[in-house]
A and B are shown apart, each in its own frame.
Chain A
């Protein structure tokens, strides 16, 4: 018989060996902790960096430089019988020029220089006011409107006056005219509510997210209405009723695979099927919602199945033992207990869908639209595609608006995730 190798060195007692190993174990423990803390710190740092850059750039879009002038609604230019047509542009230009000493409106060049200070939207603002109340013709009213993007940039200090004139977007004469307006106390920077309540525009000072918000709202609503009941139904059948055989295994594997399919593929599918075959309208949030539902469905099914599985079998047995039918067990006991988990999974799935860009680009939800959708079938953009559009726009004003739009999107995501956590905490049960 072979003698067994000695378990310990004879010179050391077991206690000494344990002590010797203690230092090693402690070292490993500390290494693990340092690595963990390091990983979390790195993540927090990255997140902080992201939020800081976004905020630094996006804060400029939180306010908008406005001009307040006394507009004389000249009956010679604007006639009640010709509304909504009229020389609204000229009236506004004249009002601005009144505040600039030496402004020359006699030639076209001079008129254009003054007119360019105001946003293109100013004349429409005035037009809407007058059309709504024609009695204003002949009166002088105070009108506040956004200034155009270059002057907005100038007032926010984003255009450096020290730059040589040739490299500057505004020449010395233009700056001097604007400074005269500032000196006259006509310039203010109120909060930029237009960012949330205006639709998109070619002019950054007028562009807002209303179209994108409405588009995302309709798309998410469609997605929820379709994916939530379908997902829960599929999960209940798979988890509670399906026989365990090759077919159900195959379905299960495929659902898990679907969750990993790149979103752009769903976009192509939607383009081919929903728009190509079914002839649904392009750019519509309804189609976007259908596409997002396809993507969210696997997430909801997987989350629901996990939540159903987590319900202790003792509850099922108790109900079955009392003579409850399987349907009564599922709907009376299992589903209510699994609801918090299901809702959490659904909200997280919807939050993913909210940020999804690629499939929406493929079905045309990146069209330039100056009005917000009023139904899921109107053409629309969505938050992520609007960000994509703005990021692609050459005007300087869109830089800060892109960051601001990302912050809006992130805010919605954080709110949705917070809601998921709150629901879980609220409905968590002990058994």
Chain B
């Protein structure tokens, strides 16, 4: 296992009075892919959103416990969520490009964070990000056209390019392929493999085959608990827990 990028210790999440995450502790490795699997409502997305403090935007949500990125407590008062989210990018379930041009979509992050000094540098970032998202060849001739005009799979790759463009260290993906067809999904899967060379990628997925294909390690969530966490092969072939086995063997969920 690569060195630890994120470590979470005794994380609890509450939505008002109900508890969505119960005492989860785990360590996420750098430059690898970790998959969170589990039935709907098990808390895997909620946990993912703790890692870039997206839960802060929900009024009734309360997070306790210790989450560290490179040893730094991300919930500390001194950490600005804006800076954290520049470091920890996110790709959402539904492709959500801005109603702007393809170029402006990718350039948005670098622009607001002031990553570039001039137009040439921005052009370079846009191109390299679109290349990294395997979208460059398809859109290089229509960068000024709206991002919303692309197909679903292209839109999701545009969102990945947009996330990459801010040069994050961690990329969170919340069921990135749930709205895509198998061909588009396969393209994203390839991308995730590529991305693991540079980033710490964490993906929530409902597709066990996708988790198996793309991830190095897998965590199984059930009813707000993290039931089991280990090498993907081991989780799928030889799970230690009964709950994990019933889920991965397809008997529930």
- A residues with CB within 8 A of B: 243-244, 312, 314-325, 328, 332-333, 337, 429-431
Question: Do residues B109 and A431 form an inter-chain contact, with CB atoms below 8 A?
Answer: no
| Known contacts A243-B59, A314-B94, A317-B92; is-contact A323 B99 (Cβ 8 Å) | no
Complex: A314 Cα to B94 Cα, angstroms: 8
Smallest distance from the beta carbon of A319 to chain B beta carbons, Å?
7
Contact pick for A320, options B57, B59, B94, B166, CB 8 Å: B57
Question: Do residues A314 and B82 form an inter-chain contact, with CB atoms below 8 A?
Answer: no
Question: Do residues B54 and A337 form an inter-chain contact, with CB atoms below 8 A?
Answer: no
Question: Do residues B98 and A319 form an inter-chain contact, with CB atoms below 8 A?
Answer: yes
Residues of A within 8 A of B82 (CB): 323-325
Residues of B within 8 A of A324 (CB): 82, 108, 112
- B residues with CB within 8 A of A: 52, 54, 57, 59, 82-86, 89-90, 92, 94, 96-99, 108-109, 112-113, 148, 159, 162-163, 166
| Known contacts A315-B98, A337-B99; is-contact A322 B108 (Cβ 8 Å) | yes
Residues of B within 8 A of A316 (CB): 57
| Known contacts A314-B92, A318-B98, A337-B99; is-contact A323 B148 (Cβ 8 Å) | no
Question: Do residues B92 and A322 form an inter-chain contact, with CB atoms below 8 A?
Answer: no
Residues of A within 8 A of B57 (CB): 316-317, 320
Complex: A332 Cα to B112 Cα, angstroms: 10
A-B CB contact pairs (8 Å), 18 listed: A244-B59, A315-B98, A316-B57, A317-B57, A317-B90, A318-B159, A320-B54, A320-B57, A321-B85, A321-B89, A321-B163, A322-B90, A323-B82, A323-B85, A324-B82, A324-B108, A324-B112, A332-B112
Q: By CB atoms of chain A within 10 A, which of B59, B82, B83 has the most?
A: B82
Question: Do residues A315 and B96 form an inter-chain contact, with CB atoms below 8 A?
Answer: yes
Smallest distance from the beta carbon of B16 to chain A beta carbons, Å?
12
Q: By CB atoms of chain B within 10 A, which of A319, A323, A332, A429 has the most?
A: A323
Contact pick for A322, options B59, B99, B109, CB 8 Å: B109
Residues of A within 8 A of B148 (CB): 430-431
Complex: A430 Cα to B92 Cα, angstroms: 19
Residues of B within 8 A of A430 (CB): 99, 148
Smallest distance from the beta carbon of A336 to chain B beta carbons, Å?
9
Complex: A312 Cα to B162 Cα, angstroms: 19
Question: Do residues A317 and B54 form an inter-chain contact, with CB atoms below 8 A?
Answer: yes
Residue of A nearest to B94 (CB): A314
Contact pick for B163, options A320, A322, A332, A431, CB 8 Å: A322
Complex: A82 Cα to B124 Cα, angstroms: 83
Question: Do residues B96 and A322 form an inter-chain contact, with CB atoms below 8 A?
Answer: no
Complex: A314 Cα to B86 Cα, angstroms: 18
Question: Do residues A322 and B166 form an inter-chain contact, with CB atoms below 8 A?
Answer: yes
Complex: A405 Cα to B86 Cα, angstroms: 60
Question: Do residues B163 and A323 form an inter-chain contact, with CB atoms below 8 A?
Answer: no
Smallest distance from the beta carbon of A312 to chain B beta carbons, Å?
8
Residue of B nearest to A245 (CB): B59
Which 5 A-B pairs have CB atoms at the shortest separation, nearest pair first?
A: A323-B86, A321-B90, A314-B96, A323-B85, A318-B96
Residue of A nearest to B96 (CB): A314
Q: By CB atoms of chain A within 10 A, which of B54, B96, B97, B162 has the most?
A: B96
Complex: A403 Cα to B151 Cα, angstroms: 57
Contact pick for B83, options A323, A328, A333, CB 8 Å: A323
| Known contacts A321-B54, A321-B163; is-contact A328 B112 (Cβ 8 Å) | yes
